[in-house]
A and B are shown apart, each in its own frame.
Chain A
Amino acid sequence: MVCEIRALQVLFAHRYVILCSNSYGGGADLWANAMESPCYQKYKEISKTAGGPDGGKDDGSKHTAVGSTSKCDGRLEILGVRMVHLATSQVKSGLPSGIKLAHARHVQLRLSGTGFTAMQIDGEPRLQPPGVIEFVAASEGPAVLLQVC
């Protein structure tokens, strides 16, 4: 009887963790725990040699370089994931939660082939037919939010 209850509790806790972070658990742990890939290292090298991916346009003060990240660095973090990572990202296990791919200012994703791909923007899911998905900084500029100190 006790055993059964224990098993149930474990089950409950497990499910709850999965659910709690409906998606990617706020993101913070995801990038920090992610594995570095040859792909990302190559990307870093390229951007170092070029003095930032977009060279001279970099105004330095506001935007940070590749690698160090913040909420308002004008850059997006791109992660590759496998099914396993979805599970590991939910638990603080120390296992990699994804594969770092790039840290870029302008991102374009090209989907080829046929059939729809599942896509999720800010938790709102949709089906995306093959095509180009482009990420550009919004013209309205950054938003101001309050953070608990």
Chain B
Amino acid sequence: MDDFIYPSKRLSAFAVTIAAVNLYTLGLISVKRSTVLKLNIAAVFSFAVYVVGVQFFVVDFEAQPLNYLLVALPLVVIPLAGNGNGAELSLVTPVAETASKLIQTLVLDSSSVVVQTRGEAIQRRRKFLRRPDAPAGARSRASSGMFFGRIQTSSPPLLSPLRLMWCIMATATFLFLRQANLLDAKVSTLLVWVVCTIVVLIIEQQLHIKSRFVGAAVKGRQRVVRAYEKRYRWQKRDAPVVDSSLVPSNKTPLLAFVNTKSGGGVGQVLIRELRALGMHDCQIWQLSSNHPPRNAFEPWLSYLKSGRSLRLLVAGGDGTVSWVLGKDGVDCLPESIQKSQLPVAILPLGTGNDLAKSFRWNSSYSPHDHGIVPHLLRVVEANERLLDRWTVTATTSSTPRHGTDGADKKNKQLAEVNQPDTESMSMLNYCGIGCGARVALNFHTLREQHRWLFCSQVTFVTLSVASTSALAYPAFKSDVVVNDCFGALQLLNKFIYANIGGGQVLRSQFCFGSRNSFARRVEIICDGKRLEGLEDLHLEGVIVLNMYDGV
């Protein structure tokens, strides 16, 4: 059969197979589950295809001993360059000695973390939450006895040894069958690989059995689950506590908040890289609505109360920073802890990073250029600065909603006048009213309407497949491809914003009539004095800035 296939055709068939399998495996990524696991599945699959492809591609496999090397090469490379655990990433970014010393001041040793028993942890948590200024939601949850947040203790699954095991197992079977002349048809070779892959996948599934049980609780298999959950919850209640006396005095540990949703999802890579640098689990907090920033401070409470300080690193956009600084974060801590103990550094990942820019955190994070190390060095050397915070209260005087009946309308209006709608928001950077804000609003609504276009996995998968098949990336480099896609996504967002934003500005330039003039409708009162002469300026918008740094 080999005679019918020309080498070039065989080559293209090989490339197509790789592309197809990458499509499939990256499709797996779009399903919401642990990314690390999925990337590993992708790697294993791609490797299988690689090996099979090599066998089809090379005509006289037996004749040249070099071909065995060709098959064996990925066996060495994958466990090293794969994406299972973070230790490999440190191979990619070698750290200079002086730099690593500086970075070590940010890293917390696991020896200085004491794990509290269940009873102590519960008491401490209740005490923390029953303070009068604790957020209402947290208090109610605490009183109901539920555990309200989880310390992120899950370490990345150690799949590299697993993959290595698989490689050795499969190769041994393969060689044995070859040697024993039991195997000559290529189909049966393929069968061996497929069976081995399935075995490994089953093992990987077993590693994640815990989350399965929790899922089953919802479905109602209660008896099994209850017994399991009892044990599981018990484990969860054992919480780590940082002992200030055990932390060396020359260290100011880092506490990183990572918003994995911003920046096209590059946060997962960041977390792995931080772990690779030796950060303790309680130094990394993955933000989500179920894991608000305040829970991250739990292990650090006694440490902070002793007067020691931390350095916070917020990876995300402007919204993430104000979340961490706000009532759900730093402000939630008891008053005995000074704000200057928790200075915040920013790693800009969002679409809008104005705050980061004004504090000169300009460099964006790309895992394959320099990694996180240069950014951490800047965190060590950075100076503390104060930033004013503002509360914006918007009061609606008369809502232009349409009433139903005449009398009803009057009553409604009266009610509205007596109780105007007020809404208060916090402001850190700026507030734009009028023309500039219109652009942003249009972008926002478009993003809400076509969410998939902007940050969904669909774009992600399409991009990855495109780049994979275009460059015929070696399959085990899927991690690299993935990261390139993150960058591409961010850029895509910006492009769309430019197109919409720019177009809108031009269009509204013509649409704004004199009747709808912004300048006539707005009135500005500063420190109790009304600003005169606004009408002559023909304003189309007002910007209120907080961050200007004068010379």
A56 within 8 A of B: no
Give A145 Cβ to nearest chain B Cβ, in Å.
5
* Number of A residues, CB within 8 Å of B: 93
**A113 near B521 (CB under 8 angstroms)?**
yes
3 closest A-B pairs by beta carbon, nearest first, are A53-B527, A104-B526, A69-B550
**A125 near B360 (CB under 8 angstroms)?**
no
B425 within 8 A of A: yes
The listed residue (A77, A114, A146) touching B544 by CB distance below 8 A is: A77
A148 within 8 A of B: yes
Residues of B near any A CB (own CB < 8 A): 311, 317-319, 322, 325, 330-331, 339-340, 342-346, 351-355, 357-362, 378-379, 381-400, 420-421, 425-441, 443-444, 494-495, 497-499, 501-502, 505, 508-509, 516, 518, 520-529, 531-534, 536-550
Chain A stretch 90-146: residues in CB contact (< 8 A) with chain B: 98-99, 101-102, 104-146
**A28 vs B387: C-alpha distance in the bound complex, in angstroms?**
14
**B540 near A123 (CB under 8 angstroms)?**
no
**A15 vs B494: C-alpha distance in the bound complex, in angstroms?**
9
**A121 vs B543: C-alpha distance in the bound complex, in angstroms?**
10
**A69 near B542 (CB under 8 angstroms)?**
no
**A23 vs B228: C-alpha distance in the bound complex, in angstroms?**
51
Residues of A near any B CB (own CB < 8 A): 15-16, 18-28, 30-32, 37-39, 42-43, 46-47, 53-54, 68-83, 86-87, 98-99, 101-102, 104-149
**A80 vs B390: C-alpha distance in the bound complex, in angstroms?**
20
**A106 vs B392: C-alpha distance in the bound complex, in angstroms?**
11
Give A148 Cβ to nearest chain B Cβ, in Å.
4
Instruction: Collect the chain B residues with CB atoms within 8 Å of residue A80's CB.
Output: 534, 537, 539, 541-543
Contacts A130-B396, A134-B392; is A28 near B547 (CB within 8 Å)? yes
The listed residue (B444, B495, B548) touching A27 by CB distance below 8 A is: B548
**A25 vs B547: C-alpha distance in the bound complex, in angstroms?**
11
**B392 near A81 (CB under 8 angstroms)?**
no
Instruction: Collect the chain B residues with CB atoms within 8 Å of residue A46's CB.
Output: 529
Contacts A125-B440, A146-B343; is A112 near B533 (CB within 8 Å)? no
The listed residue (A15, A108, A122, A147) touching B429 by CB distance below 8 A is: A122
**B542 near A16 (CB under 8 angstroms)?**
no
**A25 near B354 (CB under 8 angstroms)?**
yes
Give A12 Cβ to nearest chain B Cβ, in Å.
9
**B393 near A133 (CB under 8 angstroms)?**
yes
**A68 vs B340: C-alpha distance in the bound complex, in angstroms?**
25
**A82 near B531 (CB under 8 angstroms)?**
no
Instruction: Collect the chain A residues with CB atoms within 8 Å of residue B378's CB.
Output: 148
Instruction: Collect the chain B residues with CB atoms within 8 Å of residue A22's CB.
Output: 351-354, 440, 494, 497
Give A44 Cβ to nearest chain B Cβ, in Å.
11
**B317 near A123 (CB under 8 angstroms)?**
yes
**A135 vs B435: C-alpha distance in the bound complex, in angstroms?**
20
**B434 near A131 (CB under 8 angstroms)?**
no
**A37 near B537 (CB under 8 angstroms)?**
yes
**B318 near A122 (CB under 8 angstroms)?**
yes
Instruction: Collect the chain A residues with CB atoms within 8 Å of residue B541's CB.
Output: 80-82, 86
Give B329 Cβ to nearest chain A Cβ, in Å.
10
Instruction: Collect the chain B residues with CB atoms within 8 Å of residue A137's CB.
Output: 388-391
Give A71 Cβ to nearest chain B Cβ, in Å.
5
**B319 near A27 (CB under 8 angstroms)?**
no
**B361 near A148 (CB under 8 angstroms)?**
yes
**A79 vs B548: C-alpha distance in the bound complex, in angstroms?**
12
